[in-house]
Amino acid sequence: MILKKIDFISPEITLFYKGSLSHSSIISGIISLISCTIIAAISVYYFLMLIYRERDCPKIANNHQYVEDSGIFPLNSSSFFHFISYIENGRQSYYNNFDFTSFNLIGLETYMTSYENNKDLSKYNHWLYGFCNKEIDIKGIENLINHDSLIKSACIKKYYNSSSHKYYEIGDKNFRWPILAHGTTNPNKQFYCLIMIKCEQNILNNILGKGYTCKNNEEIGEFVNKRGGFHFNFIDNYVDILKYKEPIKKYFNRIESTIDKDNYSINNININPILITTQMEFYFHIMRIQILIIMIEMMLL
């Protein structure tokens, strides 16, 4: 009988019994078959854990430490992409078109107080914001953004070089992205300041082209009285320790500011860079395999 043929539990005998090396039985054969099935299942399970490491129970450790130079992070889709949206009060799920005829957005590499002391933009390298372009602005992160909301929002469009006194659009060889660099305590730190001002005609012409006119104070006042708010949307990251191959996950964070004709708000964002180091942990898996072998040997005794 076939179950007798696969019986490896029954002890060996010194004499052959009906052509067999052991006193085999049907019960021993059934137990042997079940044992082989369990061993095969365990072997496949641990082999898959070795191949697909996401199923493994992760061992993590983190350490906070000071670094003199934290690196360079461009403010585009490769690192710290952001866009600014406007939403009317009471319409939390729907973005309105950003109204550049009421407000302009300007990015600076200098402190806000410096700009307040001298508002001549020609003295500063700066960036102008216009309507976002889903074909250009979000390469590599298309799946994170609602495209209908994006094209109603404001993104970086032009860079002004204070040395050449010229604006350069994205794609021009002289265009450069603003950066966050080196860290706040580094003497060579580089930061970014984004301000919103009342519409200026020369800025509006550079963003939307001729044919658009800034609203007057009364019209802007009516816009402010709608009590809407501006959302600063930016790429943030978290670490998913269960994803071995791609542990860093991106998502959009948001800071909200309401509009008030008598007050203005200032928001500061401090970003902590993170470095992830993963290990193959082969020794741990070898130990598992050794335990499995011991189990098999014990079952074969």
Q: What is the pTM of this model?
A: 0.72
Burial 138-170 (b: 16+ CB within 10 A, else e): beeeeeebeeebbbbbbbbbbbbeeeeeebeee
Residue with more model confidence, 157 or 61: 157
Within a domain: 63? no
Q: Do residue 226 and residue 175 come from a single domain? A: yes
Range of the domain at 172: 72-258
Other C-beta atoms within 10 Å of 77: how many?
Answer: 21
Please give the average per-residue pLDDT across 88-112, as a whole number.
82
Within a domain: 274? no
Bridge partner list, 155: 130
Q: Do residue 229 and residue 87 come from a single domain? A: yes
Could you report the per-residue pLDDT of 206-254, keeping only the tens digit for each?
Answer: 999 888 999 998 888 888 877 778 889 998 888 887 777 778 888 888 8
Is the pLDDT assigned to residue 200 strictly greater than 50? yes
Question: What's the confidence (pLDDT) of residue 3?
Answer: 60
* Tokens read off for 96: 């309105």
Is the pLDDT assigned to residue 197 strictly greater than 80? yes
Is the pLDDT assigned to residue 105 strictly greater than 90? yes
Burial class (CB in 10 A: 0-12, 13-18, 19+), 261: exposed
What's the full length of the chain, in residues? 301
Q: Do residue 44 and residue 76 come from a single domain? A: no
Within a domain: 155? yes
Domain count, the chain: 2
Using an 8 Å Cβ cutoff, are 193 and 110 in contact?
Answer: yes
Q: Do residue 102 and residue 228 come from a single domain? A: yes
Q: How far apart are CA 193 and CA 179, in angstroms?
A: 11
* Tokens read off for 50: 């070795």
Could you report the per-residue pLDDT of 68-98, keeping only the tens digit for each?
Answer: 888 888 999 888 899 999 887 756 556 788 9
The end-to-end CA distance of the chain, in Å, is: 23
Question: What's the confidence (pLDDT) of residue 170?
Answer: 92
Please give the average per-residue pLDDT across 49-75, as a whole number.
72
Within a domain: 15? yes
| Beta strands at 179-181 and 72-74: parallel, antiparallel or unpaired | antiparallel
Q: Do residue 134 and residue 49 come from a single domain? A: no
Within a domain: 62? no
Bridge partner list, 167: 160
Which of 29-43, 142-156, 191-205, 209-223 is predicted with the least confidence, judged by mean pLDDT?
29-43
Q: Do residue 30 and residue 84 come from a single domain? A: no
Contacts of 300 (CB under 8 A, 6+ apart): 8
Q: How far apart are CA 280 and CA 284, in angstroms?
A: 9
- H helix runs in the chain, sequence order: 2-5, 26-51, 112-117, 147-150, 201-208, 217-224, 282-300
Residue with more model confidence, 35 or 132: 132
Is the pLDDT assigned to residue 146 strictly greater than 90? no
Q: How far apart are CA 46 and CA 42, in angstroms?
A: 6
Q: Do residue 28 and residue 132 come from a single domain? A: no
Q: How far apart are CA 271 and CA 191, in angstroms?
A: 11
Q: Minimal CA–CA distance to 235: which of 87, 79, 111, 38?
A: 79
Residue with tokens 């199923």: 55
Q: How far apart are CA 27 and CA 7, in angstroms?
A: 9
Question: What's the confidence (pLDDT) of residue 12?
Answer: 63
Q: Do residue 7 and residue 108 come from a single domain? A: no
Does residue 114 sit in helix, strand or coil? helix
Within a domain: 119? yes
Which of 5-19, 69-83, 100-114 is predicted with the least confidence, judged by mean pLDDT?
5-19
Q: How far apart are CA 12 and CA 33, in angstroms?
A: 18
Question: What's the confidence (pLDDT) of residue 260?
Answer: 74
